[in-house]
Chains A and B, each alone.
Chain A
Amino acid sequence: MTVNTKNLLRAGALVCVATLALAGCSPSSSDDTSGDTAPANTLTVWVDAERLPALQPATAAYTEKTGVKVDLVSKDNATLKDDFIQQVPTGKGPDITMGAHDWLGELVTNGVVSPIELGDAANDFLDVAITASTYNGQVYELPYAVENLAMLRNADLVPEAATSFDDMIARGTAAGVTYPFLVEQGVDGNPYHLYPFETSFGAPVFGTDASGGYDATQLEIGNAGGEAFASWLGSQGKNGTGVFNTEITGDVAKTAFTSGDAAFWLTGPWNVSAALDAGINLAVDPIPAPSTNAAAPFAGVKGFFISEQSKNKVAANDFLVNYMATEDVQTALFESGKVLPALKASAEAASSDPVVAGFAAVGAEAVPMPAIPAMGQVWQFWGIAQAAIINGEDPTATWQKLAADVQGAIG
């Protein structure tokens, strides 16, 4: 019965797997990372893998000060939000997670985050950071960094900043490179990167209510300014000047700018190191406006959220409000990430770096990206309409259809 030996091996392997799998299914097995079985003075914090090194020394200092152990768990940023939403109700989630303010609508609607009371410390943060972290009048996020687009310029090609969009194209063309100006698009468009130009024509997505939050019932995207933007976009597209091209993806733009084939590049702080590493003489300028209003990009505010199901809310609040919101920690986080800190004092200190100062200047104009759930309905139609306009569809009709589709989807 030699066959049986083989079968036994298989059976053995499978029972191991089954046992472990079943044991793993139980909500509180021994290897979990939740707060409910851990001692009361351990905080579990989920962090974006890239930010882990920056946080480690900061949390070590906190442990020394208070005796609260901070267990940092490295997570993939792409799956962090969904994992958090799914695991908090089971009690297996962390006490605190790192995240971005535009998750707020989803997190609050799912009831997985707890409000944070900043008290008077709220005044120490940049206004845009607090506005972005507020949802339905409550602050849910402790902000630590503000990200927004700005115009990167190859100072070797164009020594001075452009004063307007047309001026920028003229200077870029005069520099004699393949691409006077680059902005990331794609077959489905990229409304995030075109938003500064849209605001310049006076067409935000939503109006705001009395408390300054976005109001889904006031859809502004289809106003006269929106149509003006659409016809301008059409004139700069395939059948016009060709400045905008849906074939320019993020990678294409990055390769072109870092190899010196482009004069201007509209992008965010995440691409700065690539440009600097390539030896580009980099300058960061305000975004040149194509129309009367300033070109205001979206601001994305990174921060920390407290789980509604945390068993350690006192420690979590103390860690965030009384420790992470201090200048030393925010500055330390900046040192590793080089993204503008959300705390005013740290932001001022960080602005001694000309690149950060450039982004901060644009950030002063930036508006928080809407976090309300209705925004999800906007994204799915917005980019595709812009891409169609760039590729020669009738601007006014396409834009009107976009507004109607979004209105229909929001209901």
Chain B
Amino acid sequence: MRTSDTDVSPTRPSKKQHRAAMIAEAASGGLRAILVKIALLGIVDAIAVYGLLILFLHQQWLVFALVAAVTAVVNWIYFTPGKLPAKYLTPGVIFLVVFQIFVVGYTAYIGFTNYSTGHNSDKAQAISALMSSAQERVPDSPAYAVTVLDQFGTLSLLVTDPNGKVSIGSADTPLTPVSNAEIQGGEAVGLGGYTTLSFQDILARTTEITALTVPFSDDPNDGALRTNDGSNAYIYLSSLVYDEQADTMTDARSGTVYSDTGDGAFVAASGEEMLPGWRINVGFDNFARAFTEEGIRTPLIGVTLWTITFAALSVATTFFLGLFLAIVFNDMRMKGRKFYRVAMILPYAFPAFLSALVWAGMLSESFGFVNQVLLGGAQIPWLTNEWLAKISILVVNLWLGFPYMFLVCTGALQSIPAELEEAATVDGARPWAVFRLIKLPLLLVSVAPLLIASFAFNFNNFNLIYMLTGGGPRDASADVNVGATDILISMVYKVAFTGQARDYGLASAFSIIIFVLVAVISVIAFRKTKALEELNR
């Protein structure tokens, strides 16, 4: 834009400019404004200090440093004079970082890991889970009543076997019979020289007690006694042996050795994986899978084409219907415009997923309102025929989406100066020419970015697809779980979350691919609309 008209020499202000400066001065300065500013920043800082205190107590140093830095920067920006752009931009930038960049960054990070069912936590947790599941009770072994005893900080189990025989043992000493135990109701409850732990003491030392294994005899193959509740113990043998030095798991029965091969799980030489494994970084594996795995690659092209078609047609149909209605209702000769306008906006006022569900019911083949009432009992498979389902989706989306376009176009039309139309009419232009050559281009200047945003929204319009058809109808003869109306995002959902297998890594990788796709299309579209902006010059 040219700026010469505002570039007036400050030495000779006009009267008007002088007055404007006075108003600006009065508005900006003043004790009241400063007080309000201090009060507001005070609230912000108070909350920040509270947050910092909590973070300090929980020793979350990274987050602590971030919050401290952000608070300092915010104070600095608003307390130093000038820095007007920063004062405007800071809130938006912080929101952008917290709600957009962090989310995208985290999704991208997950996309490079194997986070999925069976790779859910870190290695230490996987090992502890494997070892705890490997504790197998020796078949046909009896239950032992136990009392937990303490002697100089070392825990022992005082064991009464089903025959009433009493013995004692600790982690280092196998069970040895004792004769002088204090017996209550057939069960040994105390022993001289030891302190009996109460239930409260047991709870306080949970970690020690769950880790306590008392060898049954000198032979480790006889197993060891463990108690889970502090009152009953059973003899367990571990079916797995973990070798910390070699970092291997050995199956105690078959002798198969599973080692950490860097795949996020213990793997046997035969390739058999032991789950649970743990999360690791897998580089571009997930992205490679998106293009090589049979179940994904085969439907990918068809689904991508339908996604683009669906998004483009949704934008086109809603825009033209919205525009048409906007023009009609913008005409001064139209009576009851206000009433119609409110009625038009109603579909926009319902939550979209609810409308989609209602439509799904209305379009049902045998029981739906459309077939039963409107079409007098016809059996039209609106949602179960491949092509009709696609059309139904577009029609429902048109119903859902046109009020938005109607609102936007109404606003844009009203901002076009009436003089332009008058001038064109005086010059002898027909109404259609006025619309095509003057109104539409001017309208597109302001509406084109919204159309691009609407395209991006519909590209990922999961709610509508999921609620209306669930991606169906599915072709029973196809090998993969993808239906005729599935768009990319609903396909990702099915691929990554079908049945019991959750694959967050793959889903994140797909989200990133979709993000890139939408971004590229949007950038190209924005480039094109640059040409429209020339009109304003």
Chain A residues with CB under 8 Å of chain B are 1-5, 7-23, 25-30, 40-41, 66-68, 82, 85-86, 88-89, 105-106, 108-112, 114-117, 119-120, 136-138, 187-188, 245, 247, 252, 308-309, 311-315, 317-318, 321-322, 373, 375-377, 379-381, 384-385, 387-388, 393, 398, 401, 405, 408
Contacts and interface: CB of A to CB of B under 8 A. Distances in A.
Interface in B204-257: 204, 206-207, 209-210, 228-232, 234
A45 to B, nearest CB: 16
Interface stretch (B50-58, B342-350, B406-414, B451-459): B50-58
B206 A110 contact: no
A23 B64 CA distance: 8
A26 B55 contact: yes
Given A13-B91, A188-B474, A312-B203, 5 more contacts: A4-B33, A30-B58, A308-B129, A373-B500, A376-B501
Contact of B479 (A11, A245, A408): A408
B94 A14 contact: yes
Contacts of B133: 108, 111, 114-115, 136, 138
A118 to B, nearest CB: 10
A384 B476 contact: yes
A15 B203 contact: no
Interface in B20-68: 27-29, 33, 36-37, 40-41, 43-44, 47-48, 50-51, 54-55, 57-58, 60, 63, 66-67
Contacts of B50: 19
B298 interface: no
A159 B94 CA distance: 70
B228 A26 contact: no
Interface in B245-302: 275-276
B121 interface: yes
Contacts of B209: 314
- A8, A27, A318, A387: which has the most chain B beta carbons within 10 Å? A8
Given A15-B94, A312-B206, A375-B500, A119 B28 contact: no
- B132, B367, B500: which has the most chain A beta carbons within 10 Å? B500
Contacts of A187: 383-384, 470, 472-473
Nearest to B37: A8
Nearest to A104: B500
Interface stretch (B135-143, B165-173, B433-441): B135-143
A317 B229 contact: yes
B502 interface: yes
Given A89-B125, A106-B117, A245-B366, A20 B51 contact: yes
A346 to B, nearest CB: 21
B37 A373 contact: no
A2 B29 CA distance: 9
8 contacts: A2-B33, A4-B28, A19-B50, A85-B120, A109-B275, A187-B473, A188-B474, A321-B232
Contacts of A22: 51, 55, 63, 66-67
A11 B121 CA distance: 37
Contact of B228 (A2, A10, A105, A117): A117
B203 A117 contact: no
Contact of B499 (A67, A120, A375): A375
Given A89-B125, A384-B474, A26 B204 contact: no
Nearest to A30: B54
B22 to A, nearest CB: 14
Contacts of B473: 187
B229 A377 contact: no
B364 interface: yes
Given A21-B98, A247-B366, A322-B231, A115 B135 contact: yes
Nearest to B142: A120
A13 B514 CA distance: 32
B117 A373 contact: yes
Nearest to B39: A8
B51 to A, nearest CB: 4
Nearest to B144: A119
Interface stretch (B70-78, B178-186, B315-323): B70-78
B200 A82 contact: no
Contacts of B472: 187-188
A18 B69 CA distance: 12
Nearest to B279: A89
**Interface pairs A-B: 8 shortest CB-CB:** A376-B499, A111-B129, A111-B276, A89-B121, A1-B28, A19-B51, A388-B476, A376-B500
A18 B364 contact: no
B88 interface: yes
Contacts of A322: 229, 231
B195 interface: no
Contacts of A120: 143
- A26, A187, A381: which has the most chain B beta carbons within 10 Å? A187
Contacts of B70: 15, 18
B187 interface: no
A210 to B, nearest CB: 13
Contacts of B51: 19-20, 22-23
Contacts of A373: 117, 499-501
B476 A12 contact: no
A4 B87 contact: yes
Nearest to A86: B120
A193 B527 CA distance: 55
A40 B364 CA distance: 55
B405 interface: no
B151 interface: no
Given A111-B129, A379-B499, A318 B229 contact: yes
A347 to B, nearest CB: 23
A139 to B, nearest CB: 10
A255 B301 CA distance: 42
A381 to B, nearest CB: 8
Contacts of A114: 132-133
B415 interface: no
A315 B206 contact: yes
Interface in B318-365: 364-365
B445 interface: no
Contact of B41 (A12, A86, A188, A308): A12
B365 A18 contact: no
A17 B29 CA distance: 29
A315 B203 contact: yes
A2 B33 CA distance: 7
B362 to A, nearest CB: 14
Given A5-B36, A376-B499, A385-B476, A15 B54 contact: no
B189 interface: no
B481 interface: yes
A11 B63 contact: no
A112 B502 CA distance: 15
A11 B91 contact: yes
Contacts of A111: 120-121, 125-126, 128-130, 133, 275-276
Contacts of A86: 120
A137 B125 CA distance: 21
B58 A18 contact: no
Contacts of A387: 476
Contacts of B309: none
Contacts of A375: 499-500
Interface string B454-488: 00000000000000001011101101010000000
B498 interface: yes
A110 B120 contact: yes
Contact of B37 (A4, A19, A110): A4
A18 B67 contact: yes
B476 A41 contact: no
Given A23-B51, A247-B366, A405-B479, A14 B95 contact: yes
Interface string B495-532: 00011111000000000000000000000000000000
Contacts of A318: 199, 229-231
Contacts of A30: 54, 57-58
Nearest to B204: A40
A314 B230 contact: yes
Contacts of A384: 474, 476
